[in-house]
Amino acid sequence: MMNTQVPQVATLSPRHIEQPSFGRILQSLSHPVFAIDVNGLIVYANTAAEVAFDGWVVGLNLRDLLPGFTLPNVTQFDRKSVLLASKSNEAYEATLAPLGDGFFVVDLRAHSKLSETPIQTDLDDLTGLAKRNMLMSHLNVARSRVLGAASFAVHCIDLDRFKTVNDTLGHAIGDLLLKKVADRLNSACRKGDVVARLGGDEFVVLQHDVTDTAAAERLASRIVDLVGRTYVLNGHTINIGASVGVAICDENSQPRDLLRNADLALYEAKRAGRGRYRSFESSMSARLQERRDMEVDLRRALALKQFELSYQPFLDLNDDTVIGFEALLRWNHPVKGNVPPLQFIPLAEENGLIVKIGAWVLHKACMEAATWPGEMIVAVNVSPLQFKADNLLETVSSALARTGLPAHRLELEITEGALLDDTDNVLLTLTALRDLGVKISMDDFGTGYSSLAYLQKFPFNKIKIDRSFVAGGNADSEAILKAVANLGSSLGMSITAEGVETVEQLKRIRNERCTHVQGYLTGRPMRPDAIPAFLNQPLLAPL
């Protein structure tokens, strides 16, 4: 039988996916809605869909989110409903309707009924805390009982520095630590509150009978304090911390909204420096939308060739000659103009795009450096995520082979963050790159915690001293400069001082016997077509 409501949806065509009015309507819905093609590929998802499935889903197949999904034979004026389960075992009723020309709209509604008695066996094996399904049942019950001024709060908790404990002391100690954290969370809460572990080091607390923000923040403060106290496990003294995001239920809040809002507040707590709490504010949603918009733009930027490279020279202080340039990534956005790297590179690292962007930078830098005269070096930054990718060696080899740049003219700059995990594999990769003939440099030296140990273990050609020690000009900074220069000399490594902007700084760098210098005093970043003229002009008079 024909459904009289169907023609309103069925007369839509794929062009509506790009129309602002269509997007506004779907974005206003509180349940997940997708648009898919005939193969199940997601071409559109509203915000509720992204929240429900934990992130960016456009480009995935709907089967990736709902393993049992198959596209039924839906005619132009039919709707089909099927019952599906997500990978997290949440049940959905999926209603499909055609958009025309091989596109379909998929509307998901939660199928499971609210339960007044959550399943008590749905507990985390390690900590004995509630798991996600049990937490959602408690949240649904709490939401159905909200009356008058009495409400409840959701606290999203993430452990600070927990990964370091796992990496340095092993997973057995990490598991013991998680159990102790669970005990402290239980002790921080009142009887009747629910403590859940969502996986890894992610925890959630459902706090009942909350009358105002202050009551919720008192618990958040207690959690930060208790979890942040020292642990002694199997003879190891361990110090971690907790960041907490808080959201309070109001008359319009639904459980998923609360979890999303608390997670947004948690993100803000981490941005503020970790080991603290933040309560949700509506402005956080706006910042999240800005972040999502930038992520969409960032995904397009590489395909649309919006990235370009600038080059900053570095000099050999023995004869004040330019011996190479560092490649610096720039994003020329068609509307926003030049987007500062500090705005988009951290986001690219978070979502993994930095691996593809980094491969492009490497190839582009090698291609342009191949046109430079003599033995001029090009230095390229490699992010921790890119360095740990399985194909870094292949990417470097391919860039050199395709551009014809000799390997000894390429210098890869890595930060200490690339060295923190899986040091055996990191050493193998570094050694393979050195065997290829590529130079390896440690960037931002002195800003981490274990740099001296890394210099003994890894085969670096160069140390780059962070600009903060060059600009300092105090006794401590000068002592560090001198110590690093002496260390580099004894280990056979060259030393580059970054961020040199004044003649006085340059004199100090010379006195401390650094071998190379880089900064605005010796040359600002420039477009590749400006390099020939720069190389033909006089540089520094000896000081």
- Bridge partners of 315? 322, 517
Question: Residue 225 in contact with residue 213, Cβ under 8 Å?
Answer: no
pLDDT digits (tens, 9 = 90+) for 345-373: 988 887 788 999 999 999 999 999 999 99
Pairwise pLDDT comparison (151 vs 206), residue with the higher score: 206
3-state SS track over 145-160 = CCECCEEEEEEEEEEE
When pLDDT is averaged across residues 454-480 and rounded to a whole number, the result is 77
d(CA 413, CA 312): 14
Domains and CATH numbers, the chain: 6-110 (3.30.450.20), 132-280 (3.30.70.270), 291-535 (3.20.20.450)
**Predicted structure pTM score:** 0.58
- Bridge partners of 439? 411
d(CA 127, CA 176): 9
Q: At what angle do helices 255-271 and 132-144 cross, to 10 degrees?
A: 110
Residue 130: what are its φ and ψ, rounded to 5°?
Answer: -65, 145
Which pLDDT score, from 0 to 100, does residue 438 have?
A: 95
pLDDT digits (tens, 9 = 90+) for 476-528: 777 777 887 787 777 888 889 888 998 888 888 888 788 899 999 989 999 99
Question: Residue 444 in contact with residue 416, Cβ under 8 Å?
Answer: yes
Which pLDDT score, from 0 to 100, does residue 61 have?
A: 82
SS3 324: strand
Give the pair of three-digit tokens for residue 427: 């050493």
Which are the contacts of 222, defined by CB distance < 8 A and separation ≥ 6? 188
d(CA 55, CA 41): 16
d(CA 27, CA 48): 7
The string of DSSP letters for 248-276 reads: E--TT--HHHHHHHHHHHHHHHHHTTSSS
d(CA 516, CA 291): 38
Strand 194-199 vs strand 103-110: parallel, antiparallel, or unpaired?
unpaired
pLDDT at residue 23 greater than cutoff 70: no
Which pLDDT score, from 0 to 100, does residue 77 have?
A: 52
Sign of CA dihedral 368, 372, 375, 381: negative
Q: Which of the residue ranges 4-13, 68-77, 364-373 would you say has the lowest mean pLDDT?
A: 4-13
pLDDT at residue 238 greater than cutoff 70: yes
Which pLDDT score, from 0 to 100, does residue 174 have?
A: 93
What confidence category does residue 129 fall into, taking pLDDT thresholds of 50, 70 and 90? very high
Altogether, the residues listed in the chain come to a count of: 543
Give the pair of three-digit tokens for residue 119: 């399943």
Which pLDDT score, from 0 to 100, does residue 69 have?
A: 76
Give the pair of three-digit tokens for residue 268: 């803000």
Nearest in space to 157 (alpha carbons), one of 122, 193, 123, 121: 193
- Bridge partners of 248? 153
Where in 368-472 does DSSP place strands (E)? Answer: 377-381, 410-414, 439-445, 462-465
pLDDT at residue 132 greater than cutoff 60: yes
Question: Residue 159 in contact with residue 201, Cβ under 8 Å?
Answer: yes
pLDDT digits (tens, 9 = 90+) for 270-279: 888 888 999 9
Pairwise pLDDT comparison (450 vs 229), residue with the higher score: 229
